Amino acid sequence: MPDKITLLPDNIANQIAAGEVIQRPASAIKELLENAVDAGATEIKLIINDAGKSLIQVIDNGSGMSETDARMSFERHATSKIKSIEDLFHIRTMGFRGEALASIAAVAQVELKTKRVEDETGIYIEVENSAVKKQEPIAAPVGTSIAMKNLFFNVPARRNFLKSNAAEMRHIVDEFTRVAMSFPEILFTLTANNQQLFHLESGSLKQRIVQLLGNNYNAKLVTVKEETDYMNIYGFVGKPETAKKTRGDQYFFVNNRFIKSPYLNHAVMSAYQEMIPSDSFPMYVLFIDLDPAVVDVNVHPTKQEIKFEDEKIIYAFVQAAIKHALAQFSVTPTLDFDLDASIQQLSSIQQPFTEERKSAASSGSIFKGFTQKHQAHFIEKNDKNELKHWRDFYESPETRVGSQESILKSGDTIPTHDTKLKTDGELTQLLNTYITLPSANGFLLIHQQAAHERVLYEQLKAASKDKPVATQRSMFPSTLELTPADAAIMQEIIEDLQQLGYTIEPFGKNTFVIQGTPADVEAGNEKHIIDILLEQYKHFSNEVKFSKREKLIRSLARQQAIKTGVRLTEREMRQLVNDLFACEQSNSTMDGNPTYLEFKQEQLERMFGK
């Protein structure tokens, strides 16, 4: 019998390794940008065509490479950053530990031009399918230009898994934003299809945040800065009035590397307790610096998930630092007519922020432990077990899609379609939120917003499958100016919005014109609905996988539904009730929350002891 085990050819081994590193154009862009940062560049240009599928080019003015280094950079496991195993746990640079360029060269056609300041000429290398096709000296400026063309040209199956250009563009903007946010001292530009989307001049972190996330944050940022012998934290958090109903602009960086951490996010959220509504999310851009030896960045191929040696210390410090920052700056939102009324009603906003309260906020044992030298590890144990429910705190309502039985209290029942309703009976609105409807031996208590969400959801679902929703043209079209990131999302969903009754057309760089809306959208409210729609679409739950159109339909149903606190006429209530019980599933919202509860006569009598 012949032997069965053979060594893989290098080009196939490289393609397999590329599967871990290069999942889509944005993955390659992340690696190339980080390499440019590591090269000491002060200017980095990113040029892409066809959402990175046909061209990704990164040009920097960094240190450049010698001819030998340029050739070696395309070999697997070739790196300038690791000499011994100990180095792996003390790394402060960004790149992928010797895999990035080899992986890129395995799945794309690559052209490299590089020159050091001490060399008279530069070097040009052309690589395809892991093989060097050309290598020659050229005239070139100091720095490196690397262009990768026709991504996955030799792996058609991988190329078929790429999303639409608009969807891939959104991932590219996300990665570009994260790297550019980490290094505000570097000038970054992003040009897509010969149109410049970003031109980020070097400056302060605050300037970079405003450049990337929008001018609306300019006067609404609170400085966070604390230093200890164990770790440092600095950056900005948003004032309470900037909190959004969906997970918004939230960035954590550890040793300048972007990370995702539900655990640390909960620490931030807990610092905002009683300052923002429980269903809102604050903005933050926070940097944590600590010894790389107490952080493991190699637990995930993308380096976005990391492990801390002692998570509780990090959690406590982040929470204390933000509490102190918010207290120190006496954050109280000014009267703003666009501000959510629920924020204004919070006791923490209405009550004056006295010196006594400020002192109490910054004099806790946790905060003292971090502000006094050599005290970082002396955190008192808390019997209340504050961290016990951190995951519940982090998860958004959209991810908690539960059964109706878990939502209702003991003794409550959900009526079935067999329930005999007195649809011609008297309807009453309670607290401008609930509608009572008589049934055969009791009554239903209908939540008007939940009911309307269910109605709209099924109407929009049907419209997306059959004929489009009717559109009313606007006499005075509204102009919508978006950030580059939101503009990329709009390009992605614009055709689906057309099917759902919105006529939106591009109008120059990052600008769109709303030409028409569904007939039931109140005139003058179009821009607000689109703004919130983009926010929800952008940060929709990562835990539950929905299609693009499903996300849109859910977001629109939530935005256009009648809100609690709105007074309804008898005719409006009747129409809502009829529409609700015409639904395929009338007893719950798309998230699994009940649209109504049934109270029967015997149940009511038991409640009164009869």
- In the numeric block, the tokens 């299609």 are attached to 547
Rounded to 5°, angle at Cα 460 from 457 and 462: 105
pLDDT of amino acid 384: 46
Whether residue 121 has pLDDT greater than 90: yes
Whether residue 82 has pLDDT greater than 60: no
pLDDT of amino acid 509: 76
pLDDT of amino acid 56: 95
User: How many whole angstroms separate alpha carbon 407 and alpha carbon 280?
Assistant: 21
Whether residue 413 has pLDDT greater than 80: no
What strand order describes the sheet that includes 195-200? 131-138, 122-128, 109-115, 143-149, 55-60, 43-49, 187-192, 195-200
Kindly report, residue by residue over 334-363, the tens digit of the pLDDT: 433 444 444 444 555 455 556 666 566 566
pLDDT of amino acid 172: 93
Domain boundaries, given as residue ranges, for the chain: 10-203, 206-394, 428-597
Q: Which CATH code for domain 206-394?
A: 3.30.230.10
pLDDT of amino acid 320: 92
pLDDT of amino acid 449: 93
Q: Is-contact 516 502, C-beta < 8 A?
A: yes
User: How many whole angstroms separate alpha carbon 510 and alpha carbon 506?
Assistant: 8
pLDDT of amino acid 343: 47
Q: Is 178 helix (H, G, I), strand (E, B) or coil?
A: helix
Per the structure block, which two tokens stand in for 385? Answer: 């077990």
Mean pLDDT calculated for residue range 219-229: 90
Q: Is 33 helix (H, G, I), strand (E, B) or coil?
A: helix
What is the chain's length? 610
User: How many whole angstroms separate alpha carbon 135 and alpha carbon 112?
Assistant: 9
Mean pLDDT calculated for residue range 108-136: 92
pLDDT of amino acid 53: 92
Kindly report, residue by residue over 493-519, the tens digit of the pLDDT: 888 888 888 889 988 778 899 888 887
Whether residue 163 has pLDDT greater than 90: no
pLDDT of amino acid 400: 40
- Range in 83-97, 233-247, 430-444 with the lowest mean pLDDT: 83-97
Whether residue 225 has pLDDT greater than 70: yes
**DSSP string covering 186-200, please?**
SEEEEEETTEEEEEE
Whether residue 285 has pLDDT greater than 90: yes
Decide which of 411 and 490 is more confident: 490
pLDDT of amino acid 206: 94
Q: Which CATH code for domain 10-203?
A: 3.30.565.10
What confidence category does residue 260 fall into, taking pLDDT thresholds of 50, 70 and 90? Answer: confident
Q: Is-contact 93 79, C-beta < 8 A?
A: no
pTM of the model: 0.68
pLDDT of amino acid 26: 92
pLDDT of amino acid 321: 93
Kindly report, residue by residue over 36-62, the tens digit of the pLDDT: 998 999 999 999 999 999 999 999 999
What confidence category does residue 412 fall into, taking pLDDT thresholds of 50, 70 and 90? Answer: very low
Mean pLDDT calculated for residue range 145-174: 87
Decide which of 114 and 546 is more confident: 114
As assigned by CATH, the class of the 428-597 domain is alpha beta
* Amino acid occupying residue 358: K
pLDDT of amino acid 11: 65
What radius of gyration do the chain's Cα atoms show?
Answer: 28
Whether residue 548 has pLDDT greater than 90: no
Rounded percentage of the chain residues whose pLDDT exceeds 90: 32
What confidence category does residue 426 fall into, taking pLDDT thresholds of 50, 70 and 90? Answer: confident
Decide which of 375 and 64 is more confident: 64
